[in-house]
Amino acid sequence: MPEKILITTRGLSLKLEGRTIFSGLDFDLEAGKFTALLGPNGAGKSTLLKVLLGFLKPTGGTISVLGQPPHRGNPAIGYTPQHRILGTDLALRARDVVGFGLDGHRWGPGWPSQERTKRIDEALAAVDAASFGNVPVGELSGGEQQRLLIAQAIITNPRILLLDEPLANLDINHGQEIVSLLARLAKERQIAVLLASHDINPLLPVLDYVLYVAHGRGAIGRPETIVTSETLSKLYGATVEVARVDGRLFVLGVET
């Protein structure tokens, strides 16, 4: 039976150029669970993803990703980077972009054509993008392009999916579609999904956990226990007010 806990950190710390990015982070990420990585700008959300991917080495604590230290190029981790917008003049078809997830990182012959086609078709179907698989990328909406990037990230059937601000350039409707898609993938494929975002509200209906980082510290738990005045005030070391209005959460500010 597959392990339920796919990522574990204890006392995880990172310093860059003499500055402490985060310190003492303790969290677990579970298979089949959708976790939001929240925090203010500059809190280290993208940096933490790079540590999980093996691009940066922590300066303290321990980290286990699928039972091993993080390392680059792990096919068991799917990743969509921040601010990835495909140009409107791009002549590539949607399926070509998805195929880069298999062999876009190396020179020379890729997967055998029949197997490659099968894997691309399966990834397109998984994100409800089969209907526009042959459409030039430049003709697709932002939401459709984001589906392609997710398909590209899951084409190797990863056990972990990391996403850095995938909703940043989408309108509310497209954002909600992507959130629902990711929640479904987490459950159906038993993937641990970690999505970095500046706003919890689009994620609230389907979210399992929140990992909140601020002022170098972090806390993980259910949204209703983490995004509260009490918990965030402890993280910031100052008074933080959180309000719920019409089912939406608002962090109103930090009193220093």
- Give the CATH number, domain containing residue 179: 3.40.50.300
- The first and second tokens of residue 192, run together, are 């641990």
Cα radius of gyration rounded to whole Å, the chain: 19
Class of residue 246 by CB neighbours under 10 A (exposed 0-12, middle 13-18, buried 19+): exposed
**Inter-residue contact 156 to 102 (CB < 8 Å):** yes
**Count of structural domains, the chain:** 1
- The first and second tokens of residue 198, run together, are 């500046």
Tens of pLDDT, residues 201-234: 899 889 999 999 999 999 999 999 999 999 999 9
What is the model's pTM? 0.91
Class of residue 213 by CB neighbours under 10 A (exposed 0-12, middle 13-18, buried 19+): buried
Report pLDDT for 91. 74
Which regions in the chain score pLDDT beneath 70? 1-3, 83-90, 104-112, 253-256
Query: How much is the mean pLDDT over the chain?
Result: 90
**Inter-residue contact 174 to 181 (CB < 8 Å):** no
Report pLDDT for 130. 96
Residue 15 to residue 211: CA distance in whole angstroms: 20
Buried b (16+ CB within 10 A) or exposed e, 145-162: bbbbbbbbbbbbebbbbb
Report pLDDT for 83. 66
Report pLDDT for 104. 60
Give me the residues paired with residue 13 across strands: 60
Q: Please enumerate, as own/partner, the contacts of 14-17 that have beta carbons within 8 Å and a separation of 24 or more.
A: 14/44, 14/47, 14/48, 14/51, 14/56, 14/58, 14/59, 14/60, 15/59, 16/47, 16/56
Report pLDDT for 60. 97
Which domain, by its residues, includes 89?
A: 5-255
